[in-house]
A and B are shown apart, each in its own frame.
Chain A
Amino acid sequence: MPKAILFDAFRCTGCRGCQVACKQWNDLPAEDTHNTGSYQNPPRVSADTWLVMQFREVENGDGLKWAFGRHACMHCLHPACVSACPVGALYKTDDGPVLYHDDRCIGCRYCMLACPFEIPTFQWDQGLFEGPEIKKCTFCIDRLSAGMEPACVHTCPSGALKFGERDELIAVAEGRIREHPERYLDHVYGKDEAGGTSVLYISPVPFEKLGLPELGPEPIQEDTEDIMTKATPAVLVGMLIGLGGIYWVVKRRQEMMAKKGGSGGSGNREAPS
């Protein structure tokens, strides 16, 4: 069964322990940071920061209230990045994590475009000899394979993060909503979004306020995969037969006209369009 992480925005205190734990466990260097007018720092995930807590101020009836969102790889059940990667450098494991073969990547960065959560990041400061890579959360695959939970979940002091089997966590999330309907919106984000994700959210404020995109239940690569697996072979075969046919017909007509005594090649015009 796929593993998952449940993020409870009601329980989150915005301590950023998860963000720091992620850096420590994965040996990621500190970033040069700047004051952008927000506690949120750095402003987004990068090659050196795989998890960024979102600090949002939300109007809540009686004034502004903090809302905290978690921005890191969602480990989709049907990942667009995996579908987009031309060389299969990104891949989905049965246990849930979406992982990366650094020895396959050609650095085309289509994954960065394709991801609806804007997660994959690139090492912009690495030259040819260092070999730049795509970087993102690995679901702490090294910890998972040793039977431990991800570093972010392990460090969370308020119980906002919970690790477990995906279907069990969905039940937990729905249980919390049922128990405290006054605390939560009646929706588990990630249960169905983009075909389902391995990071699930419950929240007291609308999910887009936490920085999550509004997505339908279909994987976003549905149309491109149809184009690749259905339209492309049809166009390929159709073009070969069609062009071959046109060539044959035109050639025969020219031969017939040449036979009739007309000068060959003068009577033809290019087909419109």
Chain B
Amino acid sequence: MIRGITLRRPPISPAWVVLGALIFLALVVAMIRYASGLGAISNLNDNTGWGLWISFDLLCGVALASGAFITASIVYLFGGEQYRPLLRPAILTGFLGYLMVILALMVDLGRPERIWYLIIFWNHHSVMFEVGWCVMLYTFVLALEFSPLVFERFGLRAPLRLIHALIIPLAIAGATLSTLHQSSLGSLYVILPDQLHKIWYTPLLPLMFWLTAVAVGPAMVILESTISSRVFRRGLGLDLLGGLARVIPFVLAAYMAVKIGDLAGSGELGLLAEWDLESGLFWLEIMGFVFLPMVLFSLPAVRQSSAWLMFSAFLVVSEVVLSRFAVGLIAIGRPEFAASYVPHPLEFAVTIGIVSAGIAAFGLVARYLPLFTEYAPSSAAE
């Protein structure tokens, strides 16, 4: 049985006050939205029906939550038992990530009270149908993968044994569902052959979204581990993070090859020489956020330094944010009705409030549940 970590700090610190205030502000904004419509709190309009929330909270949020399925696959399926100390925080980050996505959808959807209609009304031609189903099912899988923390805390042996028996099928289901919806978030935009800029449009968007999600999974685990080791004053398994980091260059190289190969294949490499916003974003992404972290993560010196690991992981996270915004918002040309969307400050307030809720929930779990299993192999049922 692992004991929960109790912190010897006053329960109400300034950080909690700030988080609470940001969450409260987002709640107020959400109430205004429910009373008076999306137009009251957002600059979304008929030209730009999907804005900040879809690009950041949905596209980035889901991708950045991929550490859970990557780590679970490594530990349970690929024989990486030594990475188990990273598993619980990674599962929690993923689980909270998906809950945050659902919170954002509860604001962004026009009829949030009908979100469950996805279960009863089917259109299997719609990519959104796949996204909805996979996110629903995978959030359930994550809840099950997270549940041992609660069961252990309250000493519930029977459900713990049940989850333990199911853990391999759960890991396989989690990786499959993640692959399906991480990629189908890209497929959503394959329906825009004429509206998405040629540098950013390709029928291979699903493959690219999946590859970048796989690359950012370990990067998020590195960031989350290094940050929480500082916040919670815990030791850091640098050797584990360094081992995880070795995967990243391979994935980034595959992504770069697909991306450049795709542009070459469609004869659009010339567009990269035109100095405009879309090509600028491409170069920034490929050089700064793909090639650079690929080189950095290949260097043993980087993998042995927590500061360098953090910096390189931050570059990979930036890659995901940039590419999701490029596809979701920036490179969508509206030739007839010039795009005129800049997110409203209250849209940011909602996003910031949801992220604050995620951070607060992580802090609460770290405080009250057995989140950090130390390096000794755990004897409790996992």
Q: Verify if B13 is at the interface (C-beta below 8 Å from A).
A: no
Question: Closest residue of chain A to B214, judged by CB?
Answer: A273
Closest chain B residue to A133 by CB distance? B110
**In the bound complex, do residue B172 and residue A247 qualify as a contact, i.e. CB atoms below 8 Å apart?**
yes
Contact with A along B253-281 (1 / 0, CB 8 A): 01000000000000000000000000000
Q: Is the pair B79, A232 in contact by a Cβ cutoff of 8 Å? A: no
Given contacts A85-B123, A110-B188, contact A124 B37 (CB under 8 A): yes
Contact A273 B110 (CB under 8 A): no
Beyond A43-B337, A84-B191, A251-B79, whether A132 also contacts B183 by CB under 8 A is no
The yes or no answer to B5 lying at the interface (CB within 8 A) is: no
Tell yes or no: B335 within 8 A of A by CB.
yes
Interface residues of A in 235-271 (CB under 8 A from B): 235-236, 239-240, 243-244, 246-247, 250-251, 253-254, 265-266, 268-271
Q: Are A232 and B184 in contact (CB under 8 A)?
A: yes
| Proximity string of chain A (123-166) to chain B, C-beta cutoff 8 Å, 1 when within and 0 when not | 11111111111000000000000000000000000000000000
Nearest chain A residue, comparing its CB with the CB of B45: A124
B81: which A residues are within 8 A, CB to CB?
Answer: 265, 268
- Chain B residue at smallest Cβ distance from A219: B191
Question: Which residues of chain A (205-233) have a CB below 8 Å from chain B?
Answer: 211, 213-215, 220-221, 223-225, 227-229, 231-232
Residues of A within 8 A of B34 (CB): 127-128
B115 contacts A239, C-beta separation under 8 Å: no
- Residue of B35, B83, B184, B195 touching A270 (CB-CB under 8 A): B83
Considering the complex, give the chain A residue whose CB is closest to the CB of B40: A125
> Given A106-B111, A113-B49, A125-B39 in contact, is the A84-B128 Cβ separation under 8 Å?
yes
**Complexed CA–CA distance, A122 and B46 (Å):** 7
B126 touches A118 (CB 8 A): no
Known: A113-B50, A116-B194. A235 touches B132 (CB 8 A): no
Q: Determine the residue in chain A with the shortest Cβ distance to B218.
A: A270
Chain A 187-220 residues near chain B, CB threshold 8 A: 211, 213-215, 220
- Nearest-neighbour CB distance to chain A for B65, whole angstroms, equals 18
User: What is the count of residue pairs linking A and B with beta-carbon distances less than 8 angstroms?
Assistant: 216
Kindly supply a per-residue 1/0 record for chain B positions 123-145, scoring 1 wherever the CB is within 8 Å of any chain A CB and 0 otherwise: 11111111110000000000000
- Chain A contacts for B254, CB-based, 8 A: 273
Flag if A243 contacts B37 (CB, 8 Å). Answer: no
A118 touches B336 (CB 8 A): yes
Interchain CA distance A86-B116 in the complex, whole Å: 12
Contact, CB under 8 Å: B193 / A220 = yes
Q: How many residues of A contact B (CB 8 A)?
A: 72
Distance A80 CA – B189 CA, assembled complex (angstroms): 12
Instruction: Report whether B130 and A228 are in contact in the complex, using a CB–CB cutoff of 8 Å.
Output: yes
A17 interface residue (CB < 8 Å to B): no
Verify if A19 is at the interface (C-beta below 8 Å from B): no
**Cα of A139 to Cα of B241 in the assembled complex, Å:** 60
Q: Which of B8-48 contact A (CB under 8 A)?
A: 33-40, 44-47
Contacts of A109 in B (CB 8 A): 49-50, 110
Question: Out of A128, A131, A224, which one reaches B35, CB within 8 Å?
Answer: A128
**Is B242 at the interface (CB under 8 A from chain A)?**
no
Instruction: Of the listed stretches B224-232, B243-251, B310-318, name the one at the interface; the rest are far from the partner chain.
Output: B243-251
Find chain B residues with CB under 8 A from A87 CB.
117-118, 121-123, 129
Q: Tell me if A108 counts as interface (CB < 8 A to partner B).
A: yes
B132 proximity list for chain A (CB < 8 A): 86
Contact of A104 among B39, B112, B117 (CB under 8 A): B117
Instruction: For chain B, give the interface size range.
Output: 35 or more
Which residue in chain B gives the minimum CB-CB distance to A91?
A: B123
Residues of A within 8 A of B40 (CB): 125, 127
Residues of A within 8 A of B172 (CB): 239-240, 243-244, 247
> Which B residues are in CB contact (< 8 Å) with A126?
37
A213 contacts across to B, CB distance below 8 A = 194, 335-336
Known: A128-B35, A220-B194. A118 touches B337 (CB 8 A): yes
| Set of chain B residues within 8 Å of A272, measured between Cβ atoms | 246-247, 250
Given A110-B126, A131-B111, A250-B79, A243 contacting B73 (CB threshold 8 A): yes
Contacts of A244 in B (CB 8 A): 172
Which B residues touch A127, using CB under 8 A? Answer: 33-37, 40
Complex Cα distance, B59 from A110, in Å, reads 14
| Residue in A closest to B80 when the chains form the complex, CB atoms | A270
Q: How far is the CB of B201 from chain A (nearest CB, A)?
A: 10
Does B247 lie within 8 Å of A273, measured CB to CB?
A: yes
The answer on a CB contact under 8 Å between B118 and A106 is: yes
Residue in chain A with minimal CB distance to B122: A88
Q: Mark B303-325, 1 if CB is under 8 A from A, else 0.
A: 00000000000000000000000
Cα distance, A229 to B123, chains bound together (Å)? 11
Complex contact B191–A229 (CB within 8 A): no
For B210, the closest partner residue in chain A by CB is A235
B74 at the A interface (CB under 8 A): yes
Query: Is there a chain B Cβ closer than 8 Å to A185's Cβ?
Result: no
In contact, A227 and B39 (Cβ under 8 angstroms): no
Collect the chain B residues with CB atoms within 8 Å of residue A220's CB: 191-194
Nearest-CB distance from B346 to chain A (Å)?
Answer: 14
Interface check B109, CB cutoff 8 A: yes
Q: List 21 A-B contacts (CB under 8 A).
A: A84-B128, A84-B191, A85-B123, A87-B123, A88-B123, A104-B121, A107-B110, A114-B191, A116-B194, A122-B38, A125-B40, A128-B112, A133-B110, A221-B191, A227-B184, A227-B203, A228-B124, A228-B127, A243-B171, A246-B77, A269-B80
The 3 closest A-B pairs by CB, nearest first: A107-B110, A124-B39, A86-B128
Chain A positions within 8 Å of B, measured between CB atoms, are 43-47, 80, 83-89, 104-110, 112-114, 116, 118, 121-133, 211, 213-215, 220-221, 223-225, 227-229, 231-232, 235-236, 239-240, 243-244, 246-247, 250-251, 253-254, 265-266, 268-273
* Beyond A106-B111, A125-B39, A244-B172, 7 extra complex contacts between A and B, CB < 8 Å: A84-B128, A110-B188, A126-B37, A127-B33, A127-B35, A128-B112, A224-B187
